[in-house]
Amino acid sequence: MIDKINALLQEVGNLRASNAEEIETLRIKYLSKKGEISSLMNDFRTVAADQKREVGQHLNKLKEAAQDKINELKAGFEQANTADADIDLTRTAYPIELGTRHPLSIVKKEICDIFGRLGFSIAEGPEIEDDWHVFSSLNFAEDHPARDMQDTFFIQHNPDVLLRTHTSSVQTRVMEKQEPPIRIICPGRVYRNEAISYRAHCFFHQVEALYIDKNVSFADLKQALLFFAKEMFSADTKIRLRPSYFPFTEPSAEMDISCNICGGKGCPFCKGTGWVEILGCGMVDPNVLENCGIDSKVYSGFALGMGIERITNLKYQVKDLRMFSENDIRFLKQFKSAN
């Protein structure tokens, strides 16, 4: 009888089924009241007393193996059915169309790559900041308009906690912790309390650069700006610097590039001037260096900042800023070739 049980045990181990009906047929054959194992149980009564223990152990092993095998077949069949149920028959045929990178991400990466070739490394910081890192350390006067509730998003009416209005706050954090030389570029999202229109938004993206070392001059800044403009737009791009004012740089300037649409001849995009403004820059004010623990008598530096949306507008002639945040797939698909 033990030989018969072992033969049946081997048979159970090799059971296969391709559907629920076949599984049920196997269950009835081996585990029902009139099945193979029940028949062996009936024959167990005729086994000699001295063999009952050994035969009984083999029978229990066979019954457990048969039950486990049937359960295994059921589980495998149910899992296959579940996988089939997850198939969405309304989806488009394979291969699935790949998405595209956002135009702002494309331009941000290109800007970072250009400054990376000049030795700048990427630095990042928090978007929720304090007054010191956003304003005070950067030489903003107490009555500066940027501190007004009408211009800045403050957190729960706390005048010391706000959404950063520029990524210059990352520069001050780096200057506080790192000794010169410092050569960083700071990309990130910033917030300002402005009415949303085709030319302005309450949030946008900036890239700012900072270089602090001994004997850094305005000539170094100009060469970095010229390199960036030619790499970003074209080798024929010209730049011009106009005097300006920023609390954290002195002297300060705004940079224009020759219009990349008309080549500087004058068109509606550049309002007939042949020039388009793209960024602000200047030499870091000695007060800012001192506020951050850097000796302004030993070190000097330059800083510059630009809006990524502005550069993207110039590069791809996108006329409405709101399109960058609406996630219209028709608009985003246009940048597939730019990936």
Query: What pLDDT score was predicted for residue 275?
Result: 92
Distances (CA, A) of 148 to 135, 159, 169, 202: 12, 9, 18, 15
pLDDT in tens, 21-61: 887 887 788 778 777 777 877 776 777 777 778 877 877 88
Which of 123-127, 134-138, 145-149, 284-288 bottoms out in mean pLDDT, i.e. has the lowest?
A: 145-149
Q: In a 3-state reduction of DSSP, which class is residue 100?
A: coil
Domain 103-338 has CATH 3.40.50.280: no
Please give the full DSSP string across 236-278, using - where no structure is assigned: T--EEEEEEEETTEEEEEEEEEE-TTTTTS--TTTTTSSEEEE
Query: What pLDDT score was predicted for residue 239?
Result: 94
Query: What pLDDT score was predicted for residue 309?
Result: 92
CA distance 335 to 328: 12
Distance of CA 114 to the CA centre of its chain: 20
Closest CA to 159 of 134, 190, 126, 194: 134
Higher pLDDT, 91 or 106: 106
**Highest mean predicted confidence (pLDDT) among 4-8, 71-75, 89-93, 170-174:** 170-174
Higher pLDDT, 91 or 196: 196
pLDDT in tens, 180-231: 999 999 999 999 888 888 878 889 999 999 999 999 999 999 999 999 999 9
Q: Is the pLDDT of residue 80 over 70?
A: no
Q: What are phi and psi of 220, to 5 degrees?
A: -65, -40
Please give the full DSSP string across 289-328, using - where no structure is assigned: HHHTT--TTT-EEEEEEEEHHHHHHHHH----GGGGTS--
- pTM as predicted: 0.68
Query: What pLDDT score was predicted for residue 266?
Result: 79
| Both structure tokens of 6 | 């072992």
CA 258, 280, 304, 148 torsion-angle sign: negative
Query: What pLDDT score was predicted for residue 82?
Result: 59
Q: Which residues pair with 211 in a beta bridge?
A: 183, 302
On the CB side of 5, CA atoms within 13 Å amount to: 20
Domain ranges of the chain: 2-85, 103-338
